[in-house]
Structures are given as structure tokens and as C-alpha cells.
Structure 1
């Protein structure tokens, strides 16, 4: 036999052998495989999560119906995943079918890589022989005949060794390049689009609770160049009053903080009797409760704190604010003049937050402002919460899965 002068693509050779009935059966099997994959419920949640984010970001009032709907869908997908897992573990036949089908796919992709890498070097008839055996494997797979499928997959592997053996060993470069591509995609997503952040402290209570995991929109303010703390240009808009942002602490640059923007460039911020004044205008603040209970972590143990709960309206953004009944910060603070290209931030738990007022360090330190380049993005939604109470909290010293916090918009 001699090297083929005009190599035929393996996929084309297999497709040419399929009948219309086989094509329909193959499409049905592909859908069945997708919908019975353990990744299917997670993928469906991810797909629905995208329009959910768009709805709650573009229309905050829509969260009143969108959040319950998303929570219901998420719960349904959880039970879907549990049911799939139970079925997969209990059905030996399904396990064997999936194993054989996976091996068959791996062999097919291996052959395609070899055909693409060494075109023209394979012997005449190689494509036809492998395509014929691949069709036998496919027929057994469509029939869900486990013994026959195992036999045909072994025959295909043996044929690969006979015809492609010299090229089967994957090069080190292919392994490295695959890893590098996956890493670059992950870095691209985290750099440009979205990044998770875990709430480590109670400085943003009750808006964000200890153990909440939030997604951060990195696209809205512009693409930030990591390590350089530069934003070459804005994409959607500039940071605005009321936004809850994650930023790189300008004082201790190895730490990320999450706070609410209270002042933007040029603003004059004052706190008079704990009420926020922006450029001399008092921001509305309504008392909700004088004995509101929040849960804080102290020395690794959960503790109840009694605080005063207000609803504050900051430039049209209505949000929660807590004050201690016995304030540990001065009743009057400021004025703070926000420099160009910076923002002034505070925690919603006003008497328990190291923020711009105290230089992100503590009482007695000069104020500090967050440069635009240090802002990583705007907090959008809680996607997971491992905090006080919730599922299994009795087993983990009060920390459990807070299902009620899932898909909570950050306001």
C-alpha cells in the first residue's frame, strides 16, 4: 500500500455512510446524552442566569418576580441533578453505555487529530477502513447493545493501533497548548466579563451577609488592565453613587474590599448626626427598626448583634444601612472632597466598616479614596451563600447553605 495522494476527511467519510434514519437516530441520541449529562442542569441554570442578570440590572423592580422564578428554576434543576445522579449510579447498563460511547468519541477525535496533523502520510484505504469500523460502533451505540458496543469499540481501538499506531502518541505541545488555551479563556472571562467574590466580613450587612458569594460585573466600567490598575476607556458608564463595588484596596494592595460608592469625583461628602450629605444635600434616611438583629462572626463563632436599621436613598438608590445603638464612630464626619478619578466608599454597616472615612485602616487615620483603576467591577447578584443558618447549619457550627440568599440582587 502507498501513501494516499488525496486524503479524505474522516468525518466526511463517515457522514457519507449514514442513512437518513441513522442521522435522525444519531440526533436523538445526542440530545438524550446532553439532557442526561450531569452537566445539563448546571448548564441550564447558567443559560437562564444570563437573562436573569440582564433583567435585574436593567429593571431593579423586576427582581420582585424574577428572583422567586429563578430560585424555583434553580431548585428544580437541583432535584433534576440529584435524580440524574441516582439513576446514573443505580443503572449498570447506563454506566457501561456511557463508558463505551465516551471511549468511541475519544477514538474518533484522536483519529481526526492524526488525519489533520499528518495529511497525505497515511496509507491508502486507511480512511475507509476506520470509517467502516466507526459506523459499526455507531450502529451498536444507537441500538444501545452493550456487549456488541464493547466488542466494536475494542475492534476500533485495535484498528487505530494497526493503521495509526505511529502517530497515536499525543505530543507534549498538544497537551500544553490545550491547557494554555483553557487557562487563557478563564483569564479572559475573569478579566473582561465576570468574576466571583466572597464576602469575608460584616461591613456590608445587611445588604451582603458573611459567606455570600457574589458575581462582579467587570464589563460595566471598562476593561481594567490587571496589575497596572488602569482602565483605558469606559464601556457602559462611570462608577455611580449607590453602586456596590469590589476594588483593590489602595492602601493594602494585596487585599480586595467591597463597599458602596457614596461620592464620585468632585463631591463633598459629610455625615451629620450619621446622615449622609452629598454636596450639602441630605440623603433621605427612614428608620425601619431600633432592635434589628444581625449575625456576625467573632473568633470563628457566630454572634448576634442588635443594631438600628434604616433605609437610605442615595441618588435614587434605596438600600439598607445599619448603625450601632452605641456608635463607635463620631456622629459628625467630614467633609470629604472626592478627587478627580476617584470615588468615596462606605460600608452599609456604618459603625463596623473600615472604609474611605478612616483610610481603610481604622479610627485616627486620614481618609482614602479609591482610584478608578482599582475598581474591579460592580457587584450584581448573590449566586451562592454559606452563612449563618440554612441547610446543615447544625453540623457546621451554625454555618449552612442559605438557599434564601440564592440569586439575591445586590442593591
Structure 2
């Protein structure tokens, strides 16, 4: 065995194939790789996902940037939808290309399996066996580059038979490696969902007009501190504690089977009182301006149709955090509510649809009496609407008024 062959055998199948390629083959191989990546049905979703990460960071750190960044994201989403539909049409119209993609995928999986076996048992594959495998793998690649489906299938089967002949015992063990790799991917997804970001669907109209029924939001799981799984314990704060105006998702401390989404109105030590609908924090009234006398919003209850409501729309400035709130009539339902003093390690929450919300004023849905939300029950801060299946929108005529609301895509939660 030559020194070159021995070196290639030590470094792996992919390295050995790379050493055998001519510059023209290398260029063609890279071009084919990018073509396969860009014609994958996952490509539009991956591109949109990659764009969403910096978008979320941008609108969280520089909120005014949403004025131009949100339309850009909406145009990108439309472009990716057209891209996805185009790929489907292309695959349907050209079955040969669909077959080639399938065969190339099988070939890559087989070459990847041989590579994993080589890494797991370094030095145990003879130089002669390795050379035969590398040469046959190059035949597979040549057929793939030529776009010859029958030849590619023939050469891939030949490589599969050769791998079984030369690596038979180790191939049986590689099945476990495949499943362990799948388990690792699931674990990573679980960690992301538990500790970093999680989706949440808005189930009711308690946060109208900020959040509508059917909005799907991403919540920041780490800003206040990571909550240990299966517990309501946060060992340490990461970025900051909950602040006035934050929209949070939390596990209801009195109805633990449910998650709620509300706005933080009071933080530890605050005394909160409502006087004719105006929020007072520690005796200071929070500015509130009437924006519209008749704001039309659509609501629905479980197993009922959508119905319009006509409340008054206000703009409220909650300790510097400006947001919209609704009030049904010219006066609040109760002239005075409170005062409520927030204990340490808790927050006082209310819905933006002020008289249609089971919030801290009403025991968080458990009955009369005030109820505060412990820090440990807070799952995270709502950041952005990534999808909305609400009243109106695309195809709503087929689903009893519920459709895809493209106008709400990527809207920041303020």
C-alpha cells in the first residue's frame, strides 16, 4: 500500500474521495450539492428561519426598527411561499428530477454510513477494502454528476453490496448510531423549547387588541431566568426580572393545568389600583389617551362563531411602555378596583381587553379574590407573532371565518 493510500484510509472516505477528484469534478460536485440544497423543500423554511433569528434580536433591542423590518420579513415570507410552491410544481412536472433527488439522497446516506463506521473503528478496515470502497463511491458520484438515474441506482446498489461484504459486522452496529444521532437531535430540540424559545397559541380574546385569537407567538424562555423542567423554580436571573408592560406567558398558579398570557402591570412592592379604568401604580396615574370611540374587534368563545365587538380603544403608557387597551363603555365596570399590593417574587397581571380578562383582579379564573403570579410560574416573555390563524384572511370563507392573517405576520408583541 502506498503512503498516499494509507493516509487517505486514515482520514476517511470523504477525504479519500476528495483526493481522487479532478478540479472539474470538485467544481461540479460543489455545484450539485448547492443545487440539491436549494431545491430541497426544506430550503424556503430554513431561509425564513435563519432570517427570523436576527429579526427577533433586532426588534427586541431596537423596537422602532420593526417599522421597516416587519414589511421586509413579510415580503420574504411571501417570496419563500412562492419558492416552495414552485419547487412542488417543478417536482411534479419533472419526475426524473424527483427520482434523481431520491437516488442521490440514498447514495449520500450510504456514503455517510461508511464514513461513520470508519470513524468508529479507525485502523480496522484494511487498506485494500478501503480502496475498493473509495473507488466504488467515486463511481456513484460520477453517475450522480451525470444525472443518469439508472446508472446511479446500479452503482449505489454495488456500493451497498460491497459495504455489506467488507463491513458487514460493523454495519449492524451502525443502526444504533443512527438512532442515537436521532435521539441527540430530539434532545437539542427539547433543550431549545425548554430553555430558549417556545411557541404559544392565543386561545382567547383577553389580550385584544394586542393579541388576537389564533395568533401564534414565540416566547423568550431565558430573559427572566431558566425555569427547571417539571418545576416552578428559577435558580437565577439571566437578563432582567419582569418589568411593567411585559407580555408574559405563565403557568396559572391556581389552575395549574392551564397556561395564560397577560401583561405585567405590577412588580414586587407595587401597589396597583384602578380608578374608573385608569391604572394607578403607587398612587401615580398611568397616562391613558382615547384613540377611537368605536374600535371593531372580533372575538369568539369555544364552539361559537366569530362575533364583532365595539369597545373604546385607548393608548396606555404604563411606566413608559406604550400599548393599546380596550374598554367597552365610557366608564369602567367598576369605579375602583384594588388597591392590590404585589408581594416579593410575584407580579400582578391584567389583560389588555380590560373587562374581558380573567386576570389577577379575578383570581386568575379561579373565583373571587386577587391572585398574583410567582416568578417561578413565568414561562417567558412574548416577542413576536410568527403566524396568525384568526378572523378573516386567506381561505377564511372555507373555515367559518378563520383564515391566515398575513397582515399580522412577524408583528412584534408590544
TM range (shorter): over 0.9
Q: 1:202-217 maps to which residues of 2 (within 5 A)?
A: 202-217=205-220
Stretches of structure 2 that go unaligned for 5 or more consecutive residues are none
Structure 2 match to 1:342: 346
2:331 & 2:289 partners in 1: Cα distance? 18
Instruction: Tell me, yes or no, if the aligned pair for 1:5 and 1:120 is still in contact at 8 Å.
Output: no
3-state SS in 1 of match to 2:355: helix
| CA offset digits 1:192-224 (Å, max 9, x no partner) | 210000000000001000000000011211111
Question: Which of 276, 288, 310 is residue 306 of structure 1 equivalent to?
Answer: 310
Structure 2 match to 1:351: 355
3-state SS in 2 of match to 1:125: helix
Structure 1 match to 2:381: 378
| CA offset digits 1:289-336 (Å, max 9, x no partner) | 222111111333111112111111111111110112287842210001
Structure 2 match to 1:184: 187
2:272 & 2:321 partners in 1: Cα distance? 17
Instruction: Tell me, yes or no, if the aligned pair for 2:113 and 2:174 is still in contact at 8 Å.
Output: no
Instruction: Tell me, yes or no, if the aligned pair for 1:390 and 1:402 is still in contact at 8 Å.
Output: yes
1:216 & 1:263 partners in 2: Cα distance? 20
Q: 1:8-27 maps to which residues of 2 (within 5 A)?
A: 8=10, 9-27=12-30
2:252 & 2:330 partners in 1: Cα distance? 28
Stretches of structure 1 that go unaligned for 5 or more consecutive residues are none
Structure 1 match to 2:236: 233
Structure 1 match to 2:162: 159
Instruction: Tell me, yes or no, if the aligned pair for 1:244 and 1:410 is still in contact at 8 Å.
Output: yes
Q: CA deviation at 1:282?
A: 0.6
Matched, 1:367 2:373: no
Question: Which of 284, 289, 293 is residue 287 of structure 2 equivalent to?
Answer: 284
TM-score scaled by structure 1?
0.94
Q: CA deviation at 1:170?
A: 4.5
1:142 & 1:58 partners in 2: Cα distance? 46
Question: Which of 46, 70, 74 is residue 73 of structure 2 equivalent to?
Answer: 70
Structure 2 match to 1:269: 272
Q: CA deviation at 1:245?
A: 0.4
Instruction: Tell me, yes or no, if the aligned pair for 1:327 and 1:351 is still in contact at 8 Å.
Output: no
1:175 & 1:291 partners in 2: Cα distance? 60
**Greater Cα offset, 151-160 or 307-316:** 151-160
1:100 & 1:396 partners in 2: Cα distance? 40
1:325 & 1:30 partners in 2: Cα distance? 62
Change (3 A) 1:5 1:52: closer
| CA offset digits 1:42-77 (Å, max 9, x no partner) | 111111111111111112111111111110111111
3-state SS in 2 of match to 1:209: coil
Q: 1:140-159 maps to which residues of 2 (within 5 A)?
A: 140-159=143-162
3-state SS in 1 of match to 2:311: strand
